[in-house]
Amino acid sequence: MTGRVAGKVAIITGGASGLGAESARRLAKEGACVVLTDLAADAGQTLADEIAGAGGRARFMAHDVTDEAAWARVVAGTRDAFGRIDVLVNNAGIGEGEPFLESTLAGWRKVLGVNLDGVYLGMRAVAPEMAATGGGSIINISSILGLVGFPGATAYCAAKGGVRLLTKATALELAPLGIRVNSVHPGFIETPMVANSLLASENGNEMKEMLISRHALGRLGVPREIGDGVVFLASDESSFMTGSELVIDGGYTAA
């Protein structure tokens, strides 16, 4: 097997669509064995079959990232299938938002449960497995909205900002175990999550044009551009990076 991550075993949460699916394709193309997890079982299995049909090694597992017992099953299933865990991509997330003064505690907890608790649970479940085999790379998908604010997205911003500093804190603790922990901060990317948010908006076309105008490169990103960053962080090419932020945002945060 050849490739930039040849022989590595990677878990990708939220792997059935969007950034997770493209990250899984890119990792598999570069030689990794991939375990896709998601609540969308049909789409997840279809993607695993697609990767296998292209010559890769892939498995799908249904998974709720907010369930600690489900994480134990994913870890055990990955170990049984491929023998080890080298890479964790904490990608699963939801983009629900509402104006702050109309927000509810239930809505707040739902967003933080998936977007922040799920990352914590994933790292807590996988890190001991990585340590036992000499280390690994944990890649937490945050957002530019973990760096800057955005109206109507208070819970999302809080969660993604939490992922940013959770990444840095765990990077310091896990470095002696050979485990690197980094965060990725995408700009607005052409994914189902962004498309659904625009559809739910009263003026979706105007909102899209506004978002495009805030990216210095004059367009939204595409999933492959984030997947390429994930491959870099999963590979030995990034061996001196931990606690870092990989911002892939078309210049959104440059101004």
Per-residue pLDDT tens digits for 116-153: 999 999 999 999 999 999 999 999 999 999 999 999 99
Please report, rounded to a whole number, the percentage of residues in the chain having pLDDT higher than 90.
91
Homologous superfamily in CATH for domain 9-186+222-245: NAD(P)-binding Rossmann-like Domain (3.40.50.720)
Domain boundaries for CATH 3.40.50.720 within the chain: 9-186+222-245
- What are the distances in angstroms from CA 254 to CA 5, 143, 149, 187, 208? 31, 14, 14, 11, 19
Q: Which residue among the candidates 60, 71, 156, 252 is catalytic per the annotation?
A: 156
- Predicted model pTM: 0.96
156 in active site: yes
Number of neighbours of residue 109 by Cβ within 10 angstroms: 12
- The mean pLDDT of 37-48, rounded to a whole number, is 98
CB 144, CB 186: distance < 8 Å = yes
